[in-house]
Amino acid sequence: MVRDITEYDPERALWIAGAYAEAEMTMKELADEYPKVIPGVLWIRRWRGQHPEFDMLMMEAERCRAEILADEIIKISDDPDRIAAAAGNAIKSRQWMAARLDRKRYGSETTVKQEISGTITHDHLHALTDDQLMSIAAGHVIDGEATRTATEPAAITHKRT
């Protein structure tokens, strides 16, 4: 009996994380390239929610991709044959993606990205009480909206004036 590729398998999960870590393709492109090995993006997302060990593997794969992107930025910036505007766009897109894949290492300190409620900018922080800021750092919900999705606590260094 052939197993359905949407059925979670630890060996398949390890292969997927390894392929994602080193590929120059999105998860969708990988799934399209290897349809008999990698389920669709929806299934990958479900597996991450249902299997913490797979989510940890994928977070490690994302950090690996962020390192690869950072290495590419150096190569692009050192290439004298690249047109400045094209090089700038390539660098900015890689910086943006690296910051999303590994926020701790490559992310910006001025903006806290949130999957559900959007972005909190420096201006928004002025409107929050100290208790609300501490709740955000702890990963709690404020006013019915998710305020933090990352697994590591945020460092709040903003001082009120």
> Model pTM?
0.63
Q: How far is CA 113 from CA 7, 146, 158, in A?
A: 32, 11, 16
Is residue 18 a contact partner of residue 34, using CB atoms and an 8 Å limit? no
Instruction: Tokens 């910006």: give the residue.
Output: 108
Is residue 57 a contact partner of residue 17, using CB atoms and an 8 Å limit? yes
**Does 36 score more than 60 pLDDT?**
yes
DSSP state of 82: S
Considering the segment(s) 10-106 as one domain, its CATH architecture is Orthogonal Bundle (1.10)
Average pLDDT, the chain: 79
Q: In which residue ranges of the chain is CATH 1.10.10.60 found?
A: 10-106
Long-range contacts of 70-77 (CB under 8 A, 24+ apart): 70/94, 70/98, 70/106, 73/98
The two three-digit tokens of residue 38, written as one number: 């990698």
Task: Give pLDDT tens digits for 55-80.
Answer: 999 999 999 999 999 999 999 999 99
The two three-digit tokens of residue 110, written as one number: 């001025």
What is the pLDDT at residue 153? 43
What is the pLDDT at residue 38? 93
pLDDT band at 141 (very low <50, low <70, confident <90, very high): low
What is the pLDDT at residue 138? 66
